[in-house]
């Protein structure tokens, strides 16, 4: 199935993102989590990409396992920052060989176990270069990343939005946003995107709060703001893990309801390979 066809306005599209387990010992629990979330009938799931040597194979093998053994339509993330064009061509052939038709095309970050490759020495320095190579090959539908509060490396919001427009023009068919906690940032982003001619579905990426420390670390890394209303509710309970989890579920439920009521075509949940929050939030949404 080509996932862009799901965004037809008939109903909200719910999708989940999983990350590749770092250690083989974690694969059993990972599989259990995916099976637990399957009962929610997500429209599709995505699997993040491990750019390291053995992780390349594991990413494709794990995505194939989710698709063929567990039975959920799956998109592979693919990053290009460390790859040559020949390596990407080989990876695309392997992904296609597993019957996977959808890819989330990203630049990616340099793995921490190697020295950075200067931009001028990379064959595929930016996500748009990956999008172009995949579209030239054919056979896949592509999602690209959007940043409601701009990419941390962007010179300006305007420049960042032009980069998104270029990725869409090169072949990106739907947009999944970076996580955010302020819905105004999403709605403003969509309005600005529409104003410059981006008509593709823009799907909000939502990460339920798991711990106060983790949330603040993630937002610092990706340049996402934390609304004062969130901080006012989170700070007094920051050391109470169960209270934080409940608060995170309640906050994300309200956030998702407002997004859907405001016209968002669906929700892409960053699950962090956990089932409780995503399960409760989606059940809340479907029961109202």
Predicted pLDDT at 34 = 97
The number of folded domains in the chain is 1
In a domain, 205, yes or no: yes
pLDDT digits (tens, 9 = 90+) for 70-103: 999 999 999 998 899 999 999 999 999 999 999 9
Its domain, for residue 198, covers: 3-209+265-276
H-state helical runs in the chain: 27-38, 53-64, 85-97, 127-137, 157-170, 183-195, 212-222, 228-234, 241-261, 276-286
Predicted pLDDT at 115 = 67
User: Looking at the annotation, which residues are catalytic?
Assistant: 17
In a domain, 237, yes or no: no
Predicted pLDDT at 171 = 98
In a domain, 115, yes or no: yes
Give Cα separations from 15 to 78, 134, 169, 275, 286 (angstroms).
Answer: 17, 22, 24, 13, 14
- Report the C-alpha gap between 91 and 68 in whole angstroms: 18
Predicted pLDDT at 173 = 98
Predicted pLDDT at 284 = 95
In a domain, 285, yes or no: no
Which of the residues in the chain have pLDDT under 70? Answer: 51-54, 110-115
Q: Is 242 exposed, middle or buried (0-12, 13-18, 19+ CB in 10 A)?
A: exposed
| Residue 130 CB contacts under 8 Å (≥ 6 apart), including other chains | 78, 79, 80, 88, 105, 106, 107, 124
In a domain, 14, yes or no: yes
Predicted pLDDT at 114 = 66
Predicted pLDDT at 197 = 98
In a domain, 225, yes or no: no
Predicted pLDDT at 121 = 81
Predicted pLDDT at 139 = 97
Q: What is the CATH number of the domain that holds 52?
A: 3.20.20.220
């Amino acid at each position: 199935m080509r996932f862009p066809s799901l965004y037809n306005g008939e109903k909200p599209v719910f999708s989940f993102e999983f990350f590749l387990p770092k250690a083989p010992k974690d694969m059993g629990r990972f599989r259990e989590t995916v099976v637990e979330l399957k009962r929610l009938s997500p429209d599709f799931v995505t699997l993040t990409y491990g750019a390291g040597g053995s992780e390349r194979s594991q990413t494709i093998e794990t995505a194939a396992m989710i698709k063929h053994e567990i039975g959920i339509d799956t998109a592979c993330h693919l990053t290009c920052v460390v790859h040559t064009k020949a390596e990407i061509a080989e990876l695309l052939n392997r992904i296609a060989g597993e019957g996977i038709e959808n890819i989330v095309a990203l630049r990616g970050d340099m793995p921490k176990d190697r020295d950075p490759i200067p931009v001028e020495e990379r064959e595929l320095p930016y996500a748009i270069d990956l999008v172009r190579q995949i579209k030239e090959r054919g056979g896949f539908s592509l999602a690209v990343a959007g940043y409601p509060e701009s990419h941390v490396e962007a010179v300006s919001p305007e420049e960042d939005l032009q980069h998104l427009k270029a990725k869409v023009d090169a072949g990106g068919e739907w947009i999944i946003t970076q996580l955010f906690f302020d819905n105004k940032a999403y709605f403003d982003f969509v309005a600005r995107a529409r104003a410059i001619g981006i008509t593709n579905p823009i799907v909000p990426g939502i990460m339920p709060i798991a711990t106060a420390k983790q949330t603040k670390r993630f937002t610092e890394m990706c340049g996402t703001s934390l609304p004062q209303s969130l901080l006012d509710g989170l700070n007094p309970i920051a050391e109470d893990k169960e209270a934080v989890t409940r608060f995170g579920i309640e906050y994300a439920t309200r956030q998702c309801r407002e997004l859907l009521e405001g016209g968002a075509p669906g929700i892409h949940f960053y699950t962090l390979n956990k089932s409780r929050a995503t399960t409760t939030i989606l059940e809340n949404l479907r029961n109202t």
